[in-house]
Structure 1
Amino acid sequence: MYSPPPDPADAHRLADAHDKAAAALGASPHGPLVWGWHGRTLSRRAEHPEHGACWLRLLAAPADKADGKLWTGTADAARSVPHAVRRPVLHGLHDATDTAYAYRAELTSFIDSPACSPDPVLRQELDLPASWWTSLRTDLARLAAVPTDRVAVRQEWIDRSVPRFTGAPAPQVTEWATAHGDLHLANLTADGPVIMDWEGWGIAPFGYDAALLYAYSLLAPATAARVQHEFTDVLDSPQGQAAQLIVAAELLQSASRGDHPDLVPPLRTLIQEISTAL
């Protein structure tokens, strides 16, 4: 769970924009406010006369930056990702602007199953059934085949960031596939699983989602071992090992900005293991 913006004026502004979006979409919000990363999003449960229980998520950005992959991800997924991939259904969008900011509200179906973790970094072991893992693998395989011009990870970023944050040479990716792009256990429900939060999906190195799920689980060794077991064919391949190095660079970059510092030691160990294998 994340905290509100540090400036109370920003929190009030977002809450007001959320209320206005709810009214525009004909939804009645209730329950606690749920803040996203660095207060960039604000979500709340809502009721809709046609769709019933829903989830209303508001994104905010400076007006001149309200565009691109993160802004359109949910809508793009609704258009392009097969319905067989379990995810919330998009019921409606509402865009608004004020003098300095732009807002996009997304009204989606409410998923009545808790996330597997309250935080992207898993800190408690999970015991998920074999059917859960089979469903996840099936959905990721369906997603990997989706044609898109959205890009989740670029070779240019890999070339810059892997040497900087890992000390290892940047792998040259030869196999790419469509990925969710933010696959961790806070974005996966205990039942299903349903895959949440589609703002960052797009083309990524083969094995990227499995590598991200594994790296975010390193503080829960038994669950990390289960991820490794379920995705052995992916993670043990040369492409999967390269994806793990890329993911380690990404998470270390986040740690350099103050996010999940406790994940740094196991990431350093992973880098050593992968660098030896590569």
Structure 2
Amino acid sequence: MALSVSARSVDLRSEPVDQVLDHVDRSLQTCLDRNTVVRKRRTVGARTDRGTWVRIERRTVDSIGVQGWNGTECAARLTDIAQPAWLGCMVWQDSDEPAMWRADETGLLPGPPIGTAVLSEAPVLLDKWWQALNASLDALAGQETRRIATPDTVTITQALVTKSIRSVFPDGFDATVERWVPAHADLNWANMTAPTFSLFDWEDWGIAPLGLDSASLWASSLAVPALADRVRRERRCDFESRDGKLMTLFVCSKILGRDAHPEDPRLNPARRMVEQVIEELQRS
């Protein structure tokens, strides 16, 4: 069947996926447990009958980019990071439109995801959980890769950072990033487990400004002030760096930008932090 001119933008939380799950069953020679299906905007996941997990993602062809979309596969070679083992994958083209599907099979998570991307209540996290988080993020920053991070499937560049910051905040400081390091690029409470720490959903990882992960996790914690403060304490080295300050503004630009929701509980704490960070950058 001929491909249509453009692929639809779909939300897999509401899109019919039974045929997709059936296709994965046949191709991976397994049986996905329909009672364990987890739907997200871009992905669907389920447990298999052989004690593994399959994560299925759909992307339009033009959103895959030159580096491909094998982030989970590439993350398998990273060392000293708590993550589920990668076991294999399958990729296929949609028969009706210019979109691709990818299914990655991994080991099971050691516990449930902590919550949604943005939390409204503080989770119970032991000190050893925070120690494992720090160890994994520090180990990740020390790796080498040619991948470029794609938060929200958009390749992060200096131009993107500058545009995002300048679109919301005034001039008066240099927005140039000094240090770029490997980052998960989608670090939030929906992509980590507890009580045992594990970090998953690696499709967007790659080189990014120092402090992106820490700032992203802080931003997803802002509705719980004590939790946001704990993130800043644990990742203090990132937040005290110049790049960490820029990443704080970068993530706040998404909260405070033109699409800001007037009832978002993160608005006021984000504004207060922005004032502090801009003052610090102007002094430096």
Q: Read off the aligned partner of 2:46 and give its amino acid letter.
A: R
TM-score (norm 2): 0.83
Structure 1 pair 63–175 and aligned structure 2 pair: CA distance change class (3 A): closer
Alignment of 1:143 onto 2:140: yes
- Specify the alignment match of 1:93 in structure 2: 89
Aligned-partner Cα distance in 1 for 2:183–2:61: 28
What is the percent sequence identity of the aligned residues?
28
- Specify the alignment match of 1:233 in structure 2: 237
Deviations 1:111-152 (A, max 9, x none): 1401122x1111101232211111111111111111111112
Report if aligned partners of 1:70, 1:200 keep a CA contact under 8 Å in 2. Answer: no
Report if aligned partners of 1:69, 1:200 keep a CA contact under 8 Å in 2. Answer: no
- Specify the alignment match of 2:43 in structure 1: 41
- Specify the alignment match of 1:19 in structure 2: 22
Q: Secondary structure at the match of 1:106?
A: strand
Deviations 1:82-132 (A, max 9, x none): 2x2111111111111213132111111111401122x11111012322111
Alignment of 1:125 onto 2:122: yes
Structure 1 pair 109–65 and aligned structure 2 pair: CA distance change class (3 A): same
- Specify the alignment match of 1:219 in structure 2: 223
Q: Read off the aligned partner of 1:86 and give its amino acid letter.
A: A
Report if aligned partners of 2:185, 2:206 keep a CA contact under 8 Å in 1. Answer: yes
Q: Read off the aligned partner of 2:119 and give its amino acid letter.
A: L
Give unpaired runs (5+ residues) of structure 2.
1-9, 150-155
Report if aligned partners of 1:58, 1:103 keep a CA contact under 8 Å in 2. Answer: yes
Given the alignment, which residue of 193, 197, 203 partners 2:201? Answer: 197
Q: Secondary structure at the match of 1:104?
A: strand
Q: Identify, as 1 or 2, the structure richer in helix.
A: 1
TM-score (norm 1): 0.85
CA RMSD of aligned residues (A): 2.5
Deviation of the 1:35 alpha carbon = 1.4
Q: Secondary structure at the match of 2:25?
A: helix
Count of equivalent residues: 262
Q: Read off the aligned partner of 1:77 and give its amino acid letter.
A: A
- Specify the alignment match of 1:75 in structure 2: 73
Report if aligned partners of 1:166, 1:248 keep a CA contact under 8 Å in 2. Answer: no
